Structure 1
Amino acid sequence: MKDFEVYSSLKVPKNSKIIVRLDGRSFHKLAKDLNLIKPYDENFYQVMSKVCNELFKEFSPVFVYTFSDEISLLLERIPFDGRIEKINSVIASFTASSFVLHYDADFKKPPSFDSRIIPISDEDVLKYFKWRQDESWKNCIASYGISFLKSKYSNKIANDKINGLKSSEIHELLYQNGINLNDVETYKKRGIAVYRKNKKVVGFNKKENKEQVSYRTYAYVDWEVPKFNKEFFENLIR
């Protein structure tokens, strides 16, 4: 019967980095069930940051990035011998379980995430995450735009008014009505990241009778990520 497992032998290319991207399934419905605050629910993002931190500790990625209900993991040490079925199923199920554990709520329906694998070269890492960060910014504009319009009009009229508007036009509409998106919290515009940082540890060397400085790495949850650039990712993957 093992022969019937037709995809079980599929593996990612050897000696390659991969990105695993997770997306919440039907989270627009979940947002209604949980009565999330629009346009941004801080508790939801606290939970997502904790989920990312758990993923970082469990699977040792180089970098984890999240916005909205999306999470991307950059992996250079590939788990499960590169088996695609295993990577997708285990990481997606771990993410959903972590979300439930960290979210203090009675779910009407169990939340779930889908997962996909993207082989990637060092040269394309920046392109990928800049693409996702640009999407985070577009999501920020659209979220504030529809929330503002729904505060003035019915849902149908608000949806009709925003339909077809460019991001720049929504941004200008908000600005003309006293909402400057440049002033909103960074994580809403650029997302949240988890990666390794060094911290300075000062100890005492009894043998030499003097203070001794060392550095230890730790998982850093960054709510103030910069606009992604070449230098940022060169420091991560060098």
Structure 2
Amino acid sequence: MRGLVSWRLSVSFDSRICSAANKSQVVDYFLWRQADAARCALNGWSYWMLRKNGETGENAAVILEKQSVAFKNELLFQNGINFNELPAWQRRGTGLYWEKYDKPGYNPIEGKEVVAVRRRLKVDEDLPVKDEYKEFINQFLNVGD
């Protein structure tokens, strides 16, 4: 089809630098960031639902101001969206981190198959929550101990 361009664009970026005195503060910071991501996601979904239903940006913001999580969930539910059933990355964000993996190879000097440990960037769209998330973050902090 001439002139038809098909593409998908999804861009979001939120990056911060923080100073933490110990590992516990790092874990607390990541727990807070995950909770903040969930709060922002619910607010965003609610805001854009109101906009889709004809509210102006200003009115949508006023309607949502100081409203409870239950109110926002109900607003979405009444419009056919169960927030808790959305993909995890849409509710909690995405994690990017290095992961190690084994890469098979061949050592021509020794004439044998070898395995090299490499690393690659992992895009994790299904991050755990609560205590599992604490353990998940701690695994990165305990490297080299």
TM-score bin (small chain): 0.7 to 0.9
Q: List structure 1 segments (4+ residues) > 6 angstroms apart after TM superposition.
A: none
Q: Which amino acid aligns with 1:71?
A: S
**Deviation string, structure 1 residues 167-224 (Cα, Å, up to 9, x no partner):** 2220122113211122333322112222211021001234554322221123323333
Following the alignment from structure 2 to structure 1, what is the Cα–Cα distance between the partners of residues 51 and 25?
39
Q: Which residue identity does 2:11 align to in structure 1?
A: F
Residue deviations 1:95-128 (CA, integer Å, cap 9, x gap): xxxxxxxxxxxxxxxxxxxxxx423311121111
State the alpha-carbon separation in 1 of the partners of residues 41 and 9 from structure 2.
14
The aligned counterpart of 2:136 is 232
* TM-score, normalised by the number of residues in structure 2: 0.76
Report which structure shows greater RCO (CA 8 Å, sep ≥6).
1
* Residue 147 (structure 1) aligned with residue 51 (structure 2): no
Question: Residue 103 of structure 2: which of 191, 201, 204 is its match?
Answer: 201
Q: Which whole-Å CA distance do the structure 2 matches of 1:42 and 1:227 have between them?
A: 27
Partner of 1:43: 10
1:72 matched to 2:16? The reply is yes
* Equivalences for residues 53-202 of structure 1 within 5 A: 70-73=14-17, 117-155=18-56, 156-202=58-104
TM-score by length of 1: 0.49
Unmatched runs of 5 consecutive residues or more in structure 1: 1-40, 49-69, 74-116
Aligned 8 A contact 1:136 1:188 in 2:
no
Aligned counterpart, 2:4: none
- Using the alignment, how far apart are the partners of 1:42 and 1:174 within structure 2? 24
Aligned residues: 132
Unpaired runs of 5+ residues, structure 2, are 1-7
**Equivalent residue letter for 1:43:** S
Q: Assess if the C-alpha contact under 8 Å between 1:137 and 1:190 holds in 2.
A: yes
Using the alignment, how far apart are the partners of 2:92 and 2:55 within structure 1? 29
C-alpha separation in 1, matches of 2:62 and 2:54 = 10
SS class of match (2:118)? strand
